[in-house]
Amino acid sequence: MVKYIYIPFLLFSLYLSRPVWAETINISAIDWCPQICVGGDKPGYVVELVREVFKGTKYSLNIEHYPWSRAIKNVLQGKYDALLSPAKAEAPNLIYPMHEVGKQRMCFFTKKTFDWRYSGPESLANLQIGIAVDTSIEELNEYVKNNLAQFQFQPYHERYVIQNAHKLDKKRTDTFLFTKNTTLYALAMAGESDKYREAGCVSEASIYMAFTPAKSKEKEITEMISIFDQRMLEVNKTPFFEKIMQKYGLE
């Protein structure tokens, strides 16, 4: 008799000890190394930061990767809870917490043999420029809008940087614009760093873990953001940021 009472009781105890309260934050993201990486032993410094922020909370993270425009749409439609990692101008209809997860600096890149450098919108006259769809360029957004014929738009995916670099080789464009860290990383990984150069940058923008505006998830999202901001304050007091930047060879 004791035997048959004990076993169910033990199983019930084990059940209670499991984290049955755990909730999943479904995150839509892109392959944007070194911020967000697919495969390998380094998931990206933004991913590592977000994991650190939610470590020890009731949330687990599920990150899935898409092309940039689709990643944004997934979150706008409420199919995913959060997006990594837009600037506010790239996805203005999402909900943003108080704290950013990093910075992005948009820079121009050219062939090393092309003697040109960005020095303001006026320096872009007569150039053909590669640019990613749904990318915010902060100080140049108005210029792009008024000079669409100068820009060759391409959806962002894992081959974006290399494809645009090769467009320079074929003289299809004069320069292309993308985030500095990612471009330098992609060129280095392809062994092509010696063929291209950074030719000036536009203004820097904060990037965020942004959340869906879907009304059906409003209560849950409010709680996620509250925990995110609280934990970011705590992580800020630790040496985590310095360590993670050193790990990825960044400032």
Residues 116 and 195 in one domain: yes
> What are the residues whose beta carbons fall under 8 Å from the beta carbon of 123, sequence distance 6 or more?
116, 117
Per-residue pLDDT, 96: 98
pLDDT band at 41 (very low <50, low <70, confident <90, very high): confident
Residues 110 and 201 in one domain: yes
| 3 state DSSP class of 14 | helix
Residues 7 and 93 in one domain: yes
The more confident residue out of 11 and 84 is 84
Alpha helices in the chain (DSSP H): 2-17, 45-54, 68-76, 141-146, 160-169, 180-189, 218-236, 240-247
For residue range 157-197, what is the model confidence (pLDDT) as tens digits? 888 999 999 999 999 999 999 999 999 989 998 999 999 99
Per-residue pLDDT, 229: 98
Residues 197 and 214 in one domain: no
Task: Read off the CATH number of the domain in which 78 is found.
Answer: 3.40.190.10
The more confident residue out of 224 and 9 is 224
Residues 68 and 140 in one domain: no
* Owning domain of residue 181: 104-205
Q: Which of 87, 89, 110 is nearest to 100 (CA)?
A: 87
Residues 37 and 61 in one domain: yes
Residues 66 and 188 in one domain: no
- Quick one: DSSP state of residue 48? H
Residues 195 and 214 in one domain: no
Mean pLDDT calculated for residue range 232-239: 95
Tally of structural domains, the chain: 2
pTM: 0.80
Q: What whole-number distance in Å separates Cα of residue 111 and Cα of residue 235?
A: 40
Boundary of a domain, candidates 205, 220, 235: 205
Per-residue pLDDT, 37: 94
